[in-house]
Structure 1
Amino acid sequence: MGDPFSYQGKRVVVTGAASGVGAALVELLDELGAAHVTAIDRDTPAGPTHRFIEADLSTEAGVEAAAAAVDGPVHVLFANAGVAATQPTRTVLSVNFLATRRLSQRLAARMTAGAAIVLTSSMAGTGWPSHRDDLLKLMAIDDWDESLAWFDGHPELTADPYGLSKECGQLYTLYASRTLGRSGIRITGACPNPISTPLLADFRATMTDELLDWAVRQGHQGRPATAREVAQVLAFLGSDAAAYLNGVNIPVDAGMQAALLTDQTD
């Protein structure tokens, strides 16, 4: 048997590939021998990609155009693009959730058994169980505009658009896993704590230094994750080494959630 961590012979798609975790992931996939990497972003990536598709993932038309532009089979989709709450609420919800869902749906049609979809989620989305019943209704709405209307009708949830978008992403990983799994396609998510990327400044502006510094202190490392550390988890989830993982969200938080769940931190 070959190396289950290798990407040799695999064609992958990475959204948000121009910076942060996406840029680190593109570099790592090249090291792992990926046969073809398609990058989807607003900005041109500097890393080793084979094709770049410029796209605005905040609009339905932009997502559909990006999906249509992807050529050949797809073995792994890394739905990594995301924006902070410094952007308008609808933009945050569209890029962080609706685009991820629509692109997953469109590219799943190009995938065969053994393929994988990997979402870059966040520990900010761990509150989804308290909104489960409402969010399951959203999961059943496929139309883009109807989904936005649903968000508009739930101001109590959209008060924290970034957290809500990541709750939707975490729940979508669970919700879609059964249907996709029956076609032999896995879907998983990685949920990082704060990451040392350029986007961290935006999170500090919207979440406050106090909250982010607290989250960092709860992990055993006592520092934000690096983009490379998160990219390594994503690459594992998309590889054959994770072939029996489906419908799970993996905390990438240096133990913060473990401390919370066992009452070892405030």
Structure 2
Amino acid sequence: MERFTGKTVIVTGASSGIGAATARRFGREGANVVLVSRTQSKLDAVAADIPSARVVAADLSTRDGVRTAASGAREAFGRVDVLVNNAGTAVMGSIEEVGEDGWSEVMETDVTGVWRLTKALWPDLKASGGNVVMTSSVSGIGGDWGMHAYNAAKGAITNLTRALALDARESGVRVNAVNPSFTKTELTSGMVENDALVAKFLERIPLGRPAEPEDIADVIAFLASDDARFVNGVNLPVDGGLSASNGQPPQA
């Protein structure tokens, strides 16, 4: 398929994991892809796999970083059709353990940076009749033990998605989100290496495995495409069936 030929797609957090898989997926479908993340060398490695790509190294937790990303993305190919807000971070710990710096890091990256970049590129998206896809999480739908900062941030993205879809009524810009469950990425590498923890996750996932980044990337591409032209304000669980459960354990 080449659903994005001639279109420009911006992917944040594109240096690894879901972001890298998403950038490659759009590239395979003919898009001009702008890859945004903090580390130039990692971005260059991903961009090497994409026929038409530009990289913008920027820290989206800062105002200057957002300005750099927005101007670089706009100038790269002269238009913006899709914004994939994927960049994010997490801090583990209870409210007694997480300090101001940890809380601020998560909020500035996962929420404020997303809002700033979306706001900066909104005129471009209106002009192109484009759309936004957020990477939220199942952690933005329900709570986790020891992850309150991440839960709060992804909960904000979950509802930001809904609210922006309403506000976009006159502009025609669609806004949707994916809500992945346990996915094999750099962010979860410590979890993936813990066999006992993985086994507990798999007890709750009917498909019986963690997600691969490509599993999420394929759904992001769907939401961004014209195939989803009447899908708007949706938080779509991409979780192997995790959210199908009411939370009770498997029965013998």
The normalised TM-score by structure 1 is 0.79
Q: Say if 1:82 and 1:200 are closer, same or farther in 2 by CA, change over 3 A.
A: same
Identity among equivalent positions (%) equals 34
| Offset of residue 209 of structure 1 | 7.8
How far apart are the structure 2 equivalents of 1:212 and 1:203? 7
Secondary structure of 1:8's match?
coil
1:63 aligns with 2:59: no
How far apart are the structure 1 equivalents of 2:113 and 2:250? 35
Partner of 2:28: 31
Partner of 2:56: 53
**Gaps spanning 5+ residues in structure 1: where?**
129-157
1:255 aligns with 2:241: yes
1:73 aligns with 2:79: yes
The one-letter code matched in structure 1 to 2:107 is L
1:101 aligns with 2:107: no
Partner of 1:190: 178
Please, which of 116, 125, 133 is the counterpart of residue 131 of structure 2? 116
Secondary structure of 2:124's match?
coil
Q: Say if 1:160 and 1:204 are closer, same or farther in 2 by CA, change over 3 A.
A: farther
Partner of 2:37: 41
The one-letter code matched in structure 2 to 1:246 is N
**Equivalence map 1:65-214=2 (5 Å):** 65-70=68-73, 71=75, 72-85=78-91, 88-111=102-125, 112=127, 114-127=129-142, 160-201=148-189, 213-214=199-200
How far apart are the structure 1 equivalents of 2:161 and 2:150? 17
What RMSD, in angstroms, separates the aligned Cα atoms of the two structures?
2.5
Please, which of 175, 198, 207 is the counterpart of residue 221 of structure 1? 207
**Gaps spanning 5+ residues in structure 2: where?**
93-100
Q: Which moved more, 1:97-106 or 1:112-121?
A: 112-121
Partner of 1:13: 10
How far apart are the structure 2 equivalents of 1:181 and 1:54? 33
How far apart are the structure 1 equivalents of 2:177 and 2:121? 17
The normalised TM-score by structure 2 is 0.83
Query: Number of aligned pairs?
Result: 230
The one-letter code matched in structure 1 to 2:36 is I
